[in-house]
């Protein structure tokens, strides 16, 4: 048997006709930039998340950069985030000349640890402007204490929701848990387009207006520029595709959750739950399982074995950001964030896409059992 980490073809087969019809309609209209599909998708995403506003942009990375720009973050400012995330979270901070300041993660959820965040803020972070908690793998960070700290220390809270559209924290969706929230429509995300795309949500009308300006070179009236922005727009073609896919998102998410729970049961049944650390979902959270990540000793050997028996896996992420070459100038060293470093050595993502079948999950678990028997 072969089980891919992600099989987008099976999803595409089901929506192909509908998607191609919408793509054709955009081509027939010859309206490619900021038309009715982007506006429509913005309304629909805002509705879905429960936010007042949504602004379509060119990628999740751009969403982060534009959020920071709208927050007034510039050279020398500090922005606090987790070192255990996709590079873009900290890359966006550095791109603006600002300084990423890292805080270690919670060992169970892998999201930024509010206690460590509080300890850092108590010591004082001179020039801090914002916090970017990341909702990793599909589960929201512990936002209540993070927001309280943001308020206390006058820091804007920007959610990195790239992996977590539809995730819930205490009954509220990712997208309304901070001052702004950044989404990605990269193909491997739960709602993916056919290329790059992104979106911001906010309840703040001033920030929404600013984001709309920044994505078109800082202009409200064409050719008159109030500030320096950039060109970062979501394409009509991508928006049209996303509007088709958004209708299925809840069903796909439910299928991911079902697959996640099924893995949990299969690992328990196989007697693997003390060898394989299963994902921990914090009470009050709805994880949307963008990834099903287990923690194991001998991770690299297991991964190689699984590849040899046809099971695709991935390591998100093999090197925490404070140890990346490009961030050497920040002065961090090995041992600074032990939980992130340990997780980077042990985390392994298994196939979890909505169309994954029970027999395939059973195969994945039996292969892992086989590996640990040897």
Ligand X SMILES: *Cc1c(COP(=O)(O)O)cnc(C)c1O
Summarize as ranges the residues that interact with ligand X (CB under 6 A). Answer: 59-61, 85-86, 88-89, 134, 160, 162-163, 184, 186, 196, 198
Longest Cα–Cα distance in the chain:
69
Which pair of structure tokens corresponds to residue 120?
């850092």
Residue 134 C-beta: closest distance to ligand X, Å: 5
What is residue 235's three-state secondary structure?
strand
What are the structure tokens assigned to 268, written together? 């328990």
Q: Are 197 and 259 in contact (CB under 8 A)?
A: no
Rounded Cα gap, residues 80 and 262, in angstroms? 36
Cβ 199 to ligand X, closest distance in Å?
10
Residue with the two structure tokens 């099976």: 10
240 or 367, CB closer to ligand X? Answer: 240
For strands 78-81 and 347-350, give the pairing: unpaired
Instruction: Rank residues 60 and 279 by Cβ distance to ligand X and give the closer one.
Output: 60
Minimum Å distance from CB 367 to ligand X? 27
Judged by beta carbon, residue 61 or residue 313, the one nearer ligand X is 61
**Smallest distance from the beta carbon of 168 to ligand X, in angstroms?**
18
Residue nearest to ligand X (CB): 60
Residue 106 Cβ vs ligand X, minimum distance, rounded to whole Å? 16
- DSSP symbol at 97: T
In which element (H, E) is residue 369 found?
helix 358-373
Q: What is d(CA 41, CA 205) in angstroms, rounded to the nearest whole number?
A: 18
Which residue is listed with tokens 């079902």? 258
The SS3 assignment for 238 reads helix
For ligand X, the closer CB: 101 or 321 = 321
- Beta carbons of 356 and 96 less than 8 angstroms apart: no
Closest CA to 4 of 373, 310, 344: 310
Of the pair 84, 332, the CB lying nearest ligand X is at 84
Name which of 156 and 174 has its Cβ closer to ligand X: 174
Report, in Å, the least distance between residue 29 CB and ligand X.
25
Task: Give φ, ψ of 73 to 5 degrees.
Answer: -80, 130
Nearer to ligand X, 41 or 134 (CB): 134
d(CA 123, CA 364): 46
Q: How far apart are CA 294 and CA 89, in angstroms?
A: 22
Provide the minimum distance between the beta carbon of 161 and ligand X in the complex, in angstroms, as a whole number: 8
State the nearest-atom distance from the C-beta of 371 to ligand X, in Å: 28
């Amino acid at each position: 048997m072969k089980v891919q980490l992600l099989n987008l073809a099976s999803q595409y087969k089901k929506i192909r006709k509908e998607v191609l019809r919408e793509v054709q309609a955009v081509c027939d209209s010859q309206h490619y930039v900021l038309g009715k599909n982007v506006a429509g998708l913005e309304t629909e995403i805002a509705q879905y998340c429960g936010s007042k506003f949504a602004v379509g942009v060119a990628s999740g990375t751009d969403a982060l950069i534009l959020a920071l720009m709208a927050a007034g973050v510039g050279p020398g400012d500090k922005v606090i985030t987790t070192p255990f995330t996709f590079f873009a979270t900290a890359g966006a901070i550095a791109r603006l000349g600002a300084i990423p300041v890292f805080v270690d993660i919670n060992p169970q959820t892998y999201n930024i640890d509010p206690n460590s965040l509080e300890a850092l803020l108590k010591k004082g972070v001179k020039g801090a402007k914002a916090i970017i908690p990341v909702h990793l793998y599909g589960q929201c960070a512990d936002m209540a204490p993070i927001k309280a700290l943001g308020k206390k220390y006058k820091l804007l809270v920007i959610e990195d929701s790239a992996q977590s559209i539809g995730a819930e924290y205490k009954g509220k969706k990712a997208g309304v848990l901070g001052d702004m929230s950044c989404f990605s429509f990269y193909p491997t995300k739960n709602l993916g387009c056919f290329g790059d795309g992104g979106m911001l949500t906010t309840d703040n009308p001033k920030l929404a207006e600013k984001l709309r300006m920044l994505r078109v070179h800082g202009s409200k009236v064409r050719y008159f520029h109030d500030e320096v922005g950039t060109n970062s727009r979501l394409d009509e073609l991508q928006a049209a595709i996303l509007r088709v896919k958004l209708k299925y998102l809840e069903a796909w998410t439910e299928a991911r959750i079902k697959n996640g729970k099924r893995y949990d049961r299969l690992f328990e049944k196989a007697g693997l739950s003390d060898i394989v650390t299963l994902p921990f979902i914090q009470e009050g959270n709805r994880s949307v399982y963008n990834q099903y990540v287990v923690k194991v000793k001998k991770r690299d050997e297991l991964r190689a074995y699984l590849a040899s028996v046809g099971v695709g896996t991935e390591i998100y992420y093999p090197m925490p950001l404070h140890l990346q070459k490009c961030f050497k100038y920040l002065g961090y060293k090995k041992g600074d964030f032990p939980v992130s470093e340990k997780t980077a050595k042990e985390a392994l993502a298994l196939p979890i896409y909505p169309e994954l079948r029970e027999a395939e999950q059973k195969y994945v678990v039996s292969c892992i059992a086989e590996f640990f028997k040897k």
